[in-house]
């Protein structure tokens, strides 16, 4: 006999420990997880700069949902905006005033944005941006940089994290199920190498529709002049330049990486912070390119069809609007950068005290420790890091209350002086653990 709904609910209430949740996840979820993060931890709640696991252990959160919670979890003003919207409706599959207002705010903030089209996830935004470049140019090939992350589309799953080196511009699929035909249309270049990119675009003149790049590639910063050089080469060859600002938008600066670095793309993609912690992403760019979403302007043959059930939903829109309002206030980005610089310095001081080779790679708003003895300019430099030391470092931090990605640390505006002091103590212990492993 099948169990009743009441008996199921009672059974669920008795299984409250993290170990119980992990057991249930192992049965219900492939690889015991959502595919995003370590399935060996189950987060129960978040507040400010902290999260708690299912056993009640508190962590200082430097993952912050993989970036969107720049103001921290449950920011009271964002929550109030959401609570005011909820009784008015959660989604309509139609225009709503909050979504229109958010689009106007994005256009005011982001240099390349003349119009905005909403989707729900960053991966969707990147997929549509590449498709838009193809629609606008009538060309098929897309250039991306080795190690760049642009979501889960077939195009994006090329040379994201290849374990084997191949000659550029050959693409290496990162996933099963990607058609060979897609690989043939992707060209891979090394990040921070303008000379190679120049030769590649010259060789494929007239065939490349778009170039997509994270202005800060994961945590690897662009070399001085690199982004402007990319801009110039794309202009020269008639290639649509796409900045993937899913992570960097409203993090590096209020206008994103393009405002921070002073280089304007043709299109950009936005997400994470833009939705204030709720599902919302967008493609933004020049009006003549965005016209391809309007069949009445470009005609049926050049029209790019796009729709989504939750695109521009009002709950995410009001959360994004309030988040952007808070970020516009005086001193927010200066404080974020000052916090990030303190975090960077405490880590390099702790590791240097033990003579451990490393680099702090990234921007003060997004960075990590890389265990190498040389500068990191591209994916292959990063790929050569000491994985054993990286694992010890991250495991020790987790054991001492620091919650972070294995490859990134996201500072937030919710961090307190107490949080930074606790982080410093954990960092010192992690450095000792790495040093001890080296000695043994």
Could you read off the pLDDT of 180-229 as tens digits, one per residue?
A: 999 999 999 999 999 999 999 999 999 999 999 999 999 999 999 999 99
Residue 437 or residue 22, greater confidence = 22
**What pLDDT does residue 34 have?**
96
**What pLDDT does residue 14 have?**
53
CB 353 within 8 A of CB 431: yes
Summarize the confidence of residues 279-284 as an average pLDDT: 98
For the purposes of burial, counting CB atoms within 10 Å of the CB of 415, is it exposed (0-12), middle (13-18) or buried (19 or more)?
buried
pLDDT at 6 over 70: no
pLDDT at 1 over 90: no
pTM for this prediction: 0.95
**What pLDDT does residue 284 have?**
98
Rounded to whole angstroms, the Cα distance separating 320 from 78 reads 8
**What pLDDT does residue 440 have?**
66
Summarize the confidence of residues 91-107 as an average pLDDT: 97
Summarize the confidence of residues 44-54 as an average pLDDT: 98
For the chain, domains (ranges, CATH) are: 41-74+332-439 (3.90.1150.10), 76-327 (3.40.640.10)
**What pLDDT does residue 16 have?**
82
What tens digit of pLDDT does each residue of 374-412 get?
A: 999 999 999 999 999 999 999 999 999 999 999 999 999
Closest CA relative to residue 250, chosen from 60, 410, 24: 410
What is the percent of the chain with per-residue pLDDT over 90, rounded to a whole number? 95
- Enzyme catalytic residues: 149, 244, 272
| Mean pLDDT score across all residues of the chain | 95
**Where residue 3 falls among pLDDT bands split at 50, 70, 90?**
very low
**Where residue 164 falls among pLDDT bands split at 50, 70, 90?**
confident
Tell me the C-alpha to C-alpha distance, in Å, between residue 21 and each of 39, 67, 390, 404: 10, 25, 27, 21
**What pLDDT does residue 437 have?**
87
């Amino acid at each position: 006999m099948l169990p009743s709904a009441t008996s199921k609910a009672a059974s669920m209430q008795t299984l409250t420990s993290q170990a119980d949740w992990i057991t249930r996840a192992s049965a219900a979820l492939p690889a015991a997880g959502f595919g995003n993060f370590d399935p060996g931890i189950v987060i129960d709640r978040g507040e400010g700069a902290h999260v708690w696991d299912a056993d009640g252990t508190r962590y200082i959160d430097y993952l912050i949902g993989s970036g969107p919670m720049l103001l921290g979890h449950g920011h009271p003003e964002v929550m109030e905006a959401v609570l005011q919207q909820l009784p008015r409706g959660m989604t309509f599959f139609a225009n709503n005033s909050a979504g229109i207002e958010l689009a106007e705010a994005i256009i005011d903030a982001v240099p390349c944005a003349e119009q905005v089209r909403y989707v729900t996830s960053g991966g969707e935004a990147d997929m549509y941006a590449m498709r838009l470049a193809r629609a606008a140019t009538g060309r098929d090939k897309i250039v991306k940089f080795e190690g760049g992350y642009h979501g889960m589309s077939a195009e994006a799953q090329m040379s994201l994290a290849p374990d084997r080196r191949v000659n550029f511009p050959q693409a290496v699929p990162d996933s099963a199920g990607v058609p060979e035909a897609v690989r043939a249309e992707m060209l891979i270049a090394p990040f921070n190498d303008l000379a190679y990119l120049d030769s590649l675009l010259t060789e494929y003149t007239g065939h490349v529709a778009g170039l997509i790049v994270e202005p800060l590639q994961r945590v690897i910063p662009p070399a001085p002049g690199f982004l402007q050089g990319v801009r110039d080469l794309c202009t020269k060859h008639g290639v649509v330049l796409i900045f993937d600002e899913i992570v960097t938008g409203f993090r590096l600066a209020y206008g994103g990486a393009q405002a921070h670095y002073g280089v304007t793309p043709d299109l950009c993609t936005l997400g994470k912070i833009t939705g204030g912690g709720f599902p919302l992403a967008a493609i933004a760019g020049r009006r003549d390119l965005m016209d391809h979403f309007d069949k009445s302007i470009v005609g049926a043959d050049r029209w790019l069809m796009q729709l989504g059930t939750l695109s521009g939903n009002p709950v995410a829109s009001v959360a994004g609007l309030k988040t952007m309002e808070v970020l516009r206030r005086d001193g927010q980005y200066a404080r974020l950068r000052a916090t990030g610089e303190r975090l960077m310095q405490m880590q390099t001081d702790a590791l240097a005290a033990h003579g451990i080779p490393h680099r702090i790679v990234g921007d003060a708003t997004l960075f990590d420790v890389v265990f190498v003895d040389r500068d990191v300019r591209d994916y292959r430099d990063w790929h050569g890091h000491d994985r054993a030391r990286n694992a010890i470092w991250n495991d020790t931090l987790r054991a001492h209350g620091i919650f972070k990605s294995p490859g990134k640390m996201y500072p937030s505006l919710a961090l307190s002086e107490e949080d930074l002091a606790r982080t410093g103590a954990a960092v010192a212990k992690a450095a000792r653990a790495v040093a001890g492993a080296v000695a043994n």
